[in-house]
Each structure stands twice: as C-alpha cells, then as structure tokens.
Amino acid sequence: MKVDLNSDLGEGAGHDDEILSLVSSANIACGFHAGNPAGIFNSIRVAKEKGVAVGAHPSLDDRKNFGRIEMQISGAEVYALVAYQVGAFQALCTAAGLKMNHVKPHGALYNMAVRDRELSDAIVRGMLAVDTGAILFAPAGTELFKAAQELRLQTASEVFADRNYNSDGTLVSRTRPDALLRDPGEAAERVVRMLKEGKIRAIDGSELAVCPETICLHGDTPGAVEFARSVRARLERDGISIAAPRRMAKLE
C-alpha cells in the first residue's frame, strides 16, 4: 500500500522546513493568497533538496482573506488566474532545475470548483494551457475531478487528515468550531482507516466512501508539524509507503 502526503506551504507559517522533512509533496503558494517570487523559489529549492515533489497552489486574487472567502468570478477569470499562477510557478521550477509535478487549487477556489463545473473546466483548461502532464489534486467524484478526467488530465484523489467532513463529502466550513481535527493521534487513526477500509466518518456519524491517493496536512493549522509527524509515523508503523504520485505524459 502506498500513499502521498501533501502539505500547503510557502504561506508564511514559519515551519516549512520541518514539514518538508515529513511529506512527499508540497503545494506552494503562488503569490495571490500568500507568498512572493523569492519565497516561492526558496520553497522549491528546499523541496528539491529534501526530495519532495512540488506543485502550484493557485488561489483567488485575495491576499486580504488568505484566499478563503468565496466570491463571484467567471470561468474566463479563473482560467487566466490559474494559467498565470501555474505558468509563473513552472518558470521558477525551471530556474531551480526541477519539474513541476502537480497543481492543487487553494481555499475558496478549490471549494467552489468541487461543485461548479464551469470553474472546474476553467481550472483544468488553465493547467493544460501551461503543462499537459501535471497532476491535478482533487476530491474524487467532484466536479473538479470529473472535469479533469473528461479533459484527459491526470488526477490524484485527495482527502484531508486535519479537516472534518459533512455527510455530502464536502469539508466542514472553517466558520464552524468543528472544522478542524485537534488531536494528531485521532487524525493518524482516521488516515489509516481511510486507506485500509476506504471509509471516513462524517460529523453526523454517517460513513463516506473514499479512495485516497494523496492526503493533505495543512501547513498553517495549529500543531501542523506534530500532525504531520504523527500521521507519517503511524503510516510507517503500518508498513504503508509514502511517495508522491508520478506524472506521466498527457493521457490519450
């Protein structure tokens, strides 16, 4: 059994180096919700040194709200936002002598796209305009995942170790006190159950089916390093390999 551990980094949390020693993929902010060119380049460089795969983490243009507030935006605007951010990130990867492996939308853009097909198509087309071989991280069964599959873009099914789920498979809103898991041990147990049983318990007690290929550990949550350390240790104890998904040529 093998799975990827990813984390959203380059967001100013102050412990990226520690997280990069524990994960296999890094989603690096592209400057629109956090980060700047020098910081992005440094994150890419450190990830390369640690053997961690890197991906762009494009966002809505909203640094004030850290890209976590939904807004009215057209498909054409999303296409340009994604192509711009992914293109700039790819250029910095090239400058660092590393190939971009994946793309994972950030925050509100991610949450809007999982249910809105127009925005999902725009994200996928924006990626394809820059790099036809990059992997899209997205929740299986959502509009974002379906758009990638229909447009022949490689995908990795993502689940979250440190977030709670609603019964419809969406993430519990960060405006609620139960949005985040607080206990690293509980998160580790839940990850193992997702991998071995293909199930996760929603906040109402119902069971959701999941098929995780990449597991997100947010880099900006309280105790993020301990969460990552706990999850990794538990996976290794259970003999589960940790490795980034490998990009292929564009699917035919």
SS3 209: strand
Domain parsing of the chain, residue ranges: 2-242
Residue by residue, pLDDT tens for the chain (252 residues) are: 899 999 999 999 889 999 999 999 999 999 999 999 999 999 999 999 999 999 999 999 999 999 999 999 999 999 999 999 999 999 999 999 999 999 999 999 999 999 999 999 999 999 999 999 999 999 999 999 999 999 999 999 999 999 999 999 999 998 999 999 989 999 999 999 999 999 999 999 999 999 999 999 988 877 899 999 999 999 999 999 999 999 986 554
Domain 2-242 adopts which CATH fold?
TIM Barrel (3.20.20)
Written as one string, the DSSP assignment of 6-58 is: EEEESSS-S-HHHHHTT-SEEEEE-SSSS--HHHHHHHHHHHHHHT-EEEEE-
Alpha-carbon torsion (53, 59, 65, 68), positive or negative: negative
Under 8 Å CB-to-CB from 149, ≥6 apart: which residues?
155
CA-closest candidate to residue 58, choices 72, 47, 48, 77: 77
* Length of the chain, in residues: 252
